[in-house]
Amino acid sequence: MSGPSTSLTLDALDLSALLCSRVCHDVISPIGAIVNGLEVLEDDNDPSMREFALDLIRKSAKTASARIQFARIAFGAAGSAGASIDLADAEKVSRAMFADEKTQLSWSAPQALFPKNKVKLLLNLVVIASTAIPRGGHIDVKVAGDGDAPTFTLRSKGSHARIPNHVEALIAGTPEGGTVDAHGILPFYAGLVARAAAMDVRFVIEGDEVTVSATPTEAKTGLPGAPAPSVEDERPSDSAPPSDTQLA
């Protein structure tokens, strides 16, 4: 390896722009499919084609809604109780996010409110864990401990499992080349949230299984990994994730 890496600091405008690009990337495909379905309904009178278009619209609207609700908690200011988020909400949006995917999700967590940044970290790690199995498979999510000192363990098992390229450097805030783009912003942001939540993220691969773990950082004043300020100001939060009809 080369010499010591330098941490990258993004200003607020660049960070928000890259996160917006990431969210738009995730929803543009299902929204485009909805538009295509509507065009078929307008131009084609064949009953079979119209039924195909309606089915496409239904599935795409459900996918778009799931991705927006997930992003609302993972990246936004959403929360159910001020500075805390219910883990049940995190499970709900995670299951919806992967409902129609090639990846199966299992979830084991206490029924409790956890600090907002810790839940945001968990959701971002769920997405990162899914990228560890590009051909699909199974992700087992386990949350242990309480909100003050939780442990997250995510095991991704599937064909061609691998630790995603550059993800460890991005989470550490030291991306290769000293820059980050919309493709790498999620793990970079996850690293920001991890440091704000005073948690360390580690990756281990054994055969066809990648384990992502997050554990409380040992507070060491003045050293990397010590608790950092929150990634968002204290502000009134909105309500729990809306239903599909509320988003419509």
Q: What's the pLDDT score for residue 235?
A: 41
- Give the pairing type, strands 103-108 and 137-144: parallel
77 assigned to some structural domain:
no
Residue 125 lies in a domain: yes
> Which residue, 58, 69, 57, 81, is CA-closest to 26?
69
CATH code of residue 185: 3.30.565.10
Task: Give the CA diameter of the chain.
Answer: 69
Alpha-carbon distance of 97 to 112, in angstroms, equals: 21
Integer angstrom CA distances of residue 136 from 15, 104, 105, 133, 223? 29, 8, 11, 5, 38
CA distances for 112 relative to 43, 89, 146, 150, angstroms: 50, 10, 8, 12
Residue-range definition of the domain harbouring residue 215: 12-24+85-231
**pLDDT of the residue at 99:** 83
Total number of domains constituting the chain: 1
Residue 216 forms part of a structural domain: yes
- Alpha carbons 32 and 38: distance in angstroms, whole number: 10
Report yes or no on 137 lying in a domain: yes
pLDDT lower than 50: segments of the chain: 1-3, 80-81, 219-230, 232-248
Supply the pLDDT for residue 1: 39
For 131-170, the pLDDT digits (tens) are 999 999 999 999 999 999 999 999 999 999 999 999 999 9
Name the token pair of 200: 């360390």
**Domain membership flag for residue 179:** yes
CB burial readout 159-173, b (16+ within 10 A) else e: eebebbebbebbbbb
Q: How far apart are CA 173 and CA 158, in angstroms?
A: 28
Examine residue 61 and state whether it is found in any structural domain, yes or no: no
Q: What is the pLDDT of residue 92?
A: 96
Taking the alpha carbons at both ends of the chain, their separation in whole angstroms is 50
What pLDDT score does 5 carry? 59
- In a domain, residue 20? The reply is yes
What is the reported pTM?
Answer: 0.83
User: Would you say residue 69 lies in a domain?
Assistant: no
